[in-house]
Amino acid sequence: MITIVLQAGGKSTRMGRDKATLPFLGIPLIKRLQGRFSSWGNEILVITNDFSGYQDLGVPLYKDLIPDRGALGGLYTALAVSKYPFVALVAADLPFASPELMVYLTSILEKSEADAALPSTEKGIEPLHAVYRRETCLPLVKDAINQDLWRMNSWHDRAEILVLTPEETQELSSSEYTFWNLNTPEDFQKAEETAKRLNLG
């Protein structure tokens, strides 16, 4: 039983407007992600601090419960509002986010007593494309925020975290573009060109 949370709470300062509502290959990026994950999970919801441009998605919308706490605040909100024991968090600026990878992360988390399952690349872990156990992660994340910590991994030393190696992540996601996040108009253009060239749906 899993909740899929599309995290669109960023300020998009480099884009100049809410990038999750910008068109990607003709449809809003957030709607593309909704389509990629709609056939999996028990519920899907969106976290955004501005509901305009999201109402037609037909899914629950939530604002950050603790404002202005960045990605960690978004994770706290995701864990707090989700109905189900496992929470798959997906950043809304990842056009090539991988449902297949999330299914695998969920399966290994369910079979373990760990608190979260995260992929990694040569650049490090990817906490915005990961699966969390709601019951155990929620108090840890809240405590980190109460301590005025900001980093997404600021509570990991108190938790059991399963981390895929970069090689495992690459094999399971079947794409080198899974964690390509779009921050500028140039990023959007390059990603669209790549999607067309490689037929990345």
* CATH number reported for the structural domain that contains residue 172 in this entry: 3.90.550.10
pLDDT beyond 70 at 145:
yes
Decide: helix, strand or coil at residue 105: helix
Q: How many domains does the chain have?
A: 1
Tokens in use for 166? 């970069």
Selection from 114, 169, 119 nearest residue 140 by Cα: 114
Q: If residue 72 lies in a helix (H) or strand (E), which one and from where to where?
A: helix 70-81
DSSP 125-179: E-TTEEEEEHHHHHHHHHHHHHTT--STTTTGGGS-EEE--HHHHHHHH--TTTT
Q: Residue 182, class by beta-carbon neighbours within 10 Å (0-12 exposed, 13-18 middle, 19+ buried)?
A: buried
* Position 12 confidence tier, pLDDT thresholds 50, 70, 90: low
Residues 131-140: tens digit of each pLDDT: 999 999 999 9
pTM of the model: 0.95
Report the candidate in 146, 182, 148 with the shortest Cα–Cα distance to residue 30: 182
Over residues 53-112, the pLDDT tens digits come to 899 999 999 999 999 999 999 999 999 999 999 999 999 999 999 999 999 999 999 999
| Enclosing domain of residue 83 | 2-198
Find all residues with CB under 8 Å of 129, minimum gap 6, and list them. Answer: 89, 90, 91, 94, 97, 98, 101, 102, 119, 178, 179
Fill in the amino acid letter for 178.
Answer: T
- Cα–Cα distances in Å, from 21 out to 9, 56, 64, 78? 12, 11, 18, 20
